[in-house]
Structure 1
Amino acid sequence: MAIPLKQTADNQGRDEDAPLRYGATWGEDAAPAADARHALRALLSHGPRTGRAAVPAALAVDAELAVSELVTNAVRHAPGPCGMTLELSGDELTITVWDSSTEKPAVKKADPRRIGGHGLHLVHTVSDRVVVALRETGKRITAHLSLIPKQSTIGLRGIALPG
């Protein structure tokens, strides 16, 4: 089930100040990563129609990676349904994925010889901040990506290039 893209009326009369939000939930036998990426692209393309600046292409790629990894992890490692909310505000994109597992996820060090297990490390690499909130009925992982450009970065924003 998807919650339609909507704009909240936190600051009526100034569309660029009100956050855009989107939400979706999936059953346990769904394969939602492609749906999540599609929803993210729709949210990001809707932003300029509300007076916001377009999200830079490198940030959009980083956000798609974060969405894919978080949703895929929720489907693979937790029983039951999962869901996602996206929020685009004036200075930040927030991606929150929830699932039914109460186990805290572990960030594994990068290892080119290991197959799999790199997703959460990648999410931390492309995000400015990642917050894990354990709940009685599962967990919620929120990735915060700043819309304020960082100097001398491209793509995986955590990797600085010589200027």
Structure 2
Amino acid sequence: MTPDSRDEGPLGAAVALDGRGACIAEARHMAAGFLTRMRAEHDIPVSQRAVEVTQLVVSELVTNAQKYALGPILLDLQIAGDLVQVQVWDSDPVLPMARAADVGRVGQHGLEIIMALCQGFEAMREPVGKRLTARLALADDPAGDDV
């Protein structure tokens, strides 16, 4: 999970999760650790809010993959300019659909949350399964004063 150096290409980390048990907690921990390392080792401005929001988005995406797909889940994090890109792959080819807001509905609000928090979101079918990509701001203040 060691990030690449800037000279060798984009900074990133990836992990394969078994899709069972504590994989959601493992994914959240990996995301927080990755962003903390980017701040400490590469002087990338990462706000505490960005770490927390990234953990929430990772949690929502991995929870859905664990719930709806059988088998492994791949989590990939990349630094892309002033954004962190979160990609989650799973074996279920069904793309998620945002539902209309309904305060009376219990559950199934994950995609609404993700879309409200992210600068970008896309879902694409892969030859096997699907890949969901969310892009989140690393700093609350573009000048980096909030880190």
Same fold (TM over 0.5): yes
Per-residue CA deviations over 1:89-143 (Å, capped at 9, x if unaligned) read 4411010000001111111123221111001111111100001110121000000
What is the match of residue 116 of structure 2? 125
Other structure's SS at 1:23 match: strand
Structure with the bigger RCO (C-alpha within 8 Å, sep 6+) is: 2
Question: Is the contact made by 1:45 and 1:54 (CA closer than 8 Å) also made in structure 2?
Answer: no
Distance 1:6 1:114 in 2: 40
What is the match of residue 60 of structure 2? 69
Question: Is the contact made by 2:46 and 2:139 (CA closer than 8 Å) also made in structure 1?
Answer: no
- TM-score, normalization by structure 1: 0.78
The structure whose Rg is larger is: 1
Q: How many residues align?
A: 142
Gaps of 5+ in 2: 143-147
Other structure's SS at 2:101 match: coil
Runs of at least 4 residues of structure 1 off by over 6 A? none
Tell me how far 1:47 sits from its aligned partner.
Answer: 1.2
- One-letter code aligned to 1:59: A
What is the match of residue 27 of structure 2? 36
Other structure's SS at 1:46 match: helix
Other structure's SS at 2:108 match: coil
Q: Percent identity?
A: 30
Are 2:82 and 1:82 aligned?
A: no
Other structure's SS at 2:2 match: strand
Are 2:146 and 1:149 aligned?
A: no
Other structure's SS at 1:5 match: coil
Q: CA RMSD in A?
A: 1.9
- One-letter code aligned to 2:92: S
Question: Is the contact made by 2:117 and 2:136 (CA closer than 8 Å) also made in structure 1?
Answer: yes
What is the match of residue 159 of structure 1? none
Distance 1:53 1:29 in 2: 33
What is the match of residue 87 of structure 2? 96
Distance 1:117 1:136 in 2: 26
Distance 1:69 1:127 in 2: 13
- One-letter code aligned to 1:6: P
Distance 1:63 1:99 in 2: 19
Distance 2:138 2:20 in 1: 34
- TM-score, normalization by structure 2: 0.86
Question: Is the contact made by 2:88 and 2:131 (CA closer than 8 Å) also made in structure 1?
Answer: yes
- One-letter code aligned to 1:135: E
